[in-house]
Structure 1
């Protein structure tokens, strides 16, 4: 079920300067390096290794645009926010479309192919999420925002799949989920008083909530559980970049650490 195209989001969120870009002395965090490659190049290489030939990047920073072009990516204009950028790109690239972010610096081709293989048949829109025990096993001491539901605590993995043309409606759904990611009770509230009560009583699972919310939009929506907890690690802060560098060094048997199974030992 390989998508015909992938989109890498590399826009800039409103507000002050990005802390990673400032710490690294670059104009955009997509240019920050892990090992010998910028984040954008690492993400693009993982997508190509997963068999995706057409890759686009939504970016406006001139240096990111130049890098994307040099990497053989199509450059598309970003919009005001991630979901709006996806909507703009979806109109250009069509379905099926895989969406990820430039700060997903540890992205591996295997995570992409596993995600696509694990999406239930007939799904219009799918999102990859990792359960807390898997993330904490892979990254002991990791601090992040958890979506707390009856089927566990979940963390986003910055991988989304829009399978069919009608999933344009799913982009609006994603925008709502994105807005509620730190207030999961609001996600439940969108399903009505009964579902909000179910969430309050600890009976509503995230997978069920996403399925029900998708159905309200006329879509088959699914949560896919990540197989590797490191899939939930992105680069939002300088400390995240330092962690990612240690992980990459450890994968190469660097002195910075050793990977044992999926767990980083420092």
Structure 2
């Protein structure tokens, strides 16, 4: 059995807001708050036995009151919210951590990632999706991509982590969270040899994993997913329009 943690914090740097009072997680897409799409996908996974949501407690409570979830008041930064959320679980638990801005996520995408992650026997598993798969599913979508020897990938918005291991490395990994959408800054943290290979597109996934272990002492694995929904977060107006079109089409099918 797994636990789940949804990061629904409202940050000052959020670019996408209906108004100053509406957290991103509660922006409506086709009449439903964004976070509800994530909760519905999790509900269909019968091995998720506990869900914790970290965010603005008062605003979330009225929207998700019909779901069996624990709500934790958000902190100041993303990593603070991760720490707050992980404190709700025991060190022996495995937790699926998701952001609240991936409304196109499906149970199939999550289940596929979880199975592949568990097969990797990693303490920290992170999905990556190829540029080809992303553009095939969502033509014209704009994402941040990184070129490695195995191909060109974008990162996902979920991780599977062993809680005890995650707690140990979180403070060390603070810069990774801060710069999670800036590949060049992430590469700089990894060291000059890695940066050079990164610039040339010659670094391998296993080399990055090895460097992460050296820096943080955690067995991390990149999990190649064929589901672009994992990497398709809603950060800007064009993302919002895409989500509206895709989800409206699914309702009609």
Deviation at 1:149, TM superposition (A): 2.8
TM-score between the two structures when normalised by the length of structure 1: 0.83
In structure 2, the residue matched to 1:41 is 36
Picking from 24, 27, 33, the partner of 1:32 is: 27
Kindly indicate whether the alpha-carbon contact (under 8 Å) linking 2:147 and 2:201 is maintained by their aligned counterparts in 1: no
Kindly indicate whether the alpha-carbon contact (under 8 Å) linking 1:188 and 1:209 is maintained by their aligned counterparts in 2: no
Kindly indicate whether the alpha-carbon contact (under 8 Å) linking 1:146 and 1:153 is maintained by their aligned counterparts in 2: yes
For each residue in 1:92-134, what CA deviation from the matched residue of structure 2 results, as whole angstroms up to 9, or x when unmatched?
A: 2232111111111111111111111101443100111211111
From the superposition, tell whether residues 121 and 60 of structure 1 become closer, same or farther in structure 2 (CA, over 3 Å): same
Q: Distance in 1 between matches of 2:213 and 2:18?
A: 36
Deviation at 1:84, TM superposition (A): 1.6
Deviation at 1:30, TM superposition (A): 1.9
Q: Distance in 1 between matches of 2:132 and 2:38?
A: 25
In structure 2, the residue matched to 1:76 is 72
From the superposition, tell whether residues 197 and 31 of structure 1 become closer, same or farther in structure 2 (CA, over 3 Å): closer
Q: Distance in 2 between matches of 1:208 and 1:228?
A: 24
Deviation at 1:164, TM superposition (A): 4.5
For each residue in 1:30-89, what CA deviation from the matched residue of structure 2 results, as whole angstroms up to 9, or x when unmatched?
A: 222334432111111111111213111101152223223332210012112212211121
Alignment of 1:140-179 (within 5 A): 140-172=139-171, 174-179=173-178
Query: Post-superposition, which runs of at least 4 consecutive aligned residues in structure 1 deviate over 4 A?
Result: none
Deviation at 1:248, TM superposition (A): 1.4
In structure 2, the residue matched to 1:217 is 216
Q: Distance in 2 between matches of 1:179 and 1:124?
A: 21
Alignment of 1:53-72 (within 5 A): 53-60=49-56, 62-72=58-68
In structure 1, the residue matched to 2:88 is 92
TM-score between the two structures when normalised by the length of structure 2: 0.87
From the superposition, tell whether residues 121 and 63 of structure 1 become closer, same or farther in structure 2 (CA, over 3 Å): same
From the superposition, tell whether residues 48 and 170 of structure 1 become closer, same or farther in structure 2 (CA, over 3 Å): farther
In structure 1, the residue matched to 2:17 is 20
Q: Structure 1 stretches of 5 or more lacking a match?
A: 255-266
Deviation at 1:235, TM superposition (A): 1.5
From the superposition, tell whether residues 32 and 189 of structure 1 become closer, same or farther in structure 2 (CA, over 3 Å): closer
Kindly indicate whether the alpha-carbon contact (under 8 Å) linking 1:57 and 1:68 is maintained by their aligned counterparts in 2: no
